[in-house]
Amino acid sequence: MSKEKYDVIVVGAGTAGTYMSWLLAKKGHSVLTIEKDERERVGKRLDIIHFETDRIEKAGIPPFKVGEPDCIEIRDTSIVGTPDFTTGIKVRALQTIVRLTPFLHRMYKELEEEGVHLEFSCSFNELIFENKKIIGIKATKGTEKVEYHARVVIDATGKVAALRTSLPDDYGVETFKLGSNDVMYVLLQYIKWKYPEQEHPNPDTGYNWWLLWFGPSYDKNQAILGVGSPGSYENARLMREDFLNRANLPAYDIVKEEQGMTPYRRTPYSFVSDGFIAIGDAGALTYPFSGHGVTATWMLCMIVADVLNDVLKKEGYIARADLWEINVRYFKDQGAKFASLYMQLSGALNFKENEWNYFLKKGFLYQTGEDEEDIPEPNKEYEEEEMSIGELLKFMGKLIWGILKRKFTIGHVSRLISVNGLAGKIKKHYENFPENPEDFDEWVKKTEALWIKKNVAVKHLSNNVSIEFH
């Protein structure tokens, strides 16, 4: 069995593993990136995806250019439609519409220029341990069994989390697998309007009540009709069916269909242990309200690259304590915001359809500006802006008025207020993530006591379907 030695092994050459490898190689470290699929097949499952434009710039990704093979469009705004189809709310949404496979192929060239050793058609088999600590991996390259050794191994295998889930239970990183209530099942239909001159939803138009959206596709007469739901693909289909029965859309043809899943749960409490790091979907890292995970993961990768760059310059085994700063920096910032948002969903998703109409039209979720410059960007920094005392009083006044006018129930408002309180507590708790690994177990106990208070939200559709959000 052949053996090779590197500073870092990255398993998975999707958006997370590719970016991680690129950052580390640019800092001068030897990186091996393996991918189970053939080079030409990587990214073929999904064609068109969205990246947050400002995050692309922050991540230092080479700029996209509309008209190039990997970039369809760059958008500044989106529309949020109300469930009764009477109102469209313009919101700031800086989105770059990307074709995944051409983007990855562009990045592979960048990696190779930086000296990354890319191995395709190379499948991870198992971790290699020495004295109960990770020192590498065993893999199959074609028909050949190979061993790769490294100072750090990074799991970027996506939702299967092939490395993380194979860790010993006492290794310091949770080994949970994603179940049906831990993911959003996503159905995508690439559609072409039969009569494009007829009025139809503009891309990007989203309908939050159904977790459904129309996204840009190959040309102006086409769109992507996407929908997501926890529990099953059947739930997603029923959600789309309920929308279509109500929306009165003009005729269209379905060009092709795709499906996939995105994590919908909290991340592990730690991404790191001895010689090991989990990133991306392997760490269940996605933006809670949209399911987007690519650019959110890039923010974690930037932290990983900074910490590893310093650690790799030192001799000796790279232990959990050496990598702990990755946890600290992530969970005190983006991780705290994501935990708060995920907790908030259990309150927001429990409202009924007529209540969502009221919320949207009265500006509870999105404020409309008087001109283009005033249109808010709700996803900026992945959190809402802090309310002033005046804004808070105005918000509470709208809630009280809505109750008096029977626009929503006292029970749902009470739950929302309670959940927002929990969201604030869990955000503060994550911001106090322990800087010393010895304090981690006690921090986890307190964290579990907060998460256990998160209730299941239930969405009741007009087609008598009820969907649970855990």
pTM (2 decimals)? Answer: 0.93
Backbone angles phi, psi at 463, to 5 degrees: -95, 25
Domain boundary among 331, 351, 376: 331
The pair of three-digit structure tokens given for residue 448, joined into one six-digit string: 């579990």
Residue 392, pLDDT above cutoff 70: no
Residue type, 62: P
Separation of alpha carbons 349 and 208, rounded Å = 10
43 near 14, Cβ under 8 Å?
yes
Helices 410-431 and 440-451: angle between axes, nearest 10 degrees: 170
Query: Looking at the structure, do residues 22 and 125 belong to the same domain, yes or no?
Result: yes
Give the per-residue pLDDT at 195: 96
Residue 28, pLDDT above cutoff 80: yes
Separation of alpha carbons 303 and 228, rounded Å = 30
- Omega cis (within 30) before 169: no
Least confident segment among 107-121, 230-244, 395-409? 395-409
Range of the domain at 101: 2-76+94-177+265-331
Q: Give domain status of residue 82, yes or no.
A: no
DSSP conformational letter for 212: E
101 near 43, Cβ under 8 Å?
yes
Q: What is the CATH number of the domain that holds 243?
A: 3.30.70
Give the per-residue pLDDT at 396: 62
Closest CA to 92 of 410, 366, 464: 366
Question: For residue 419, what are the contacts with CB-CB under 8 A and spacing of at least 6?
Answer: 343, 344, 346, 347, 348, 454, 455
Query: Looking at the structure, do residues 286 and 406 belong to the same domain, yes or no?
Result: no
342 near 288, Cβ under 8 Å?
yes
**pLDDT tens digit string along 59-70?**
999 999 999 999
Q: What is the CATH number of the domain that holds 31?
A: 3.50.50.60
Residues forming a β-bridge with 152 = 8
Separation of alpha carbons 281 and 239, rounded Å = 24
The H or E element containing residue 2 is strand 2-11
pLDDT confidence of 381, banded at 50, 70, 90?
Answer: very low
Q: Give domain status of residue 393, yes or no.
A: yes
Separation of alpha carbons 352 and 209, rounded Å = 9
**pLDDT tens digit string along 287-330?**
887 778 899 999 999 999 999 999 999 999 999 999 999 999 99
Question: For residue 239, what are the contacts with CB-CB under 8 A and spacing of at least 6?
Answer: 210, 211, 212, 227, 228, 229, 461, 465, 467
Give the per-residue pLDDT at 379: 47
Q: Give domain status of residue 87, yes or no.
A: no
Mean pLDDT of 337-361: 89
pLDDT confidence of 373, banded at 50, 70, 90?
Answer: low
Count of structural domains, the chain: 3
Query: Looking at the structure, do residues 306 and 319 belong to the same domain, yes or no?
Result: yes
Residue type, 459: K
Give the per-residue pLDDT at 292: 81
Query: Looking at the structure, do residues 354 and 314 belong to the same domain, yes or no?
Result: no
Separation of alpha carbons 344 and 262, rounded Å = 19
**pLDDT tens digit string along 167-206?**
999 999 999 999 999 999 999 999 999 999 999 999 889 9
**pLDDT tens digit string along 400-455?**
767 767 777 777 778 888 898 999 999 999 999 999 999 999 999 999 999 999 99
Domain boundary among 229, 246, 263: 263
Domain boundary among 278, 303, 331: 331
The pair of three-digit structure tokens given for residue 413, joined into one six-digit string: 């408002």
Burial class (CB in 10 A: 0-12, 13-18, 19+), 386: exposed
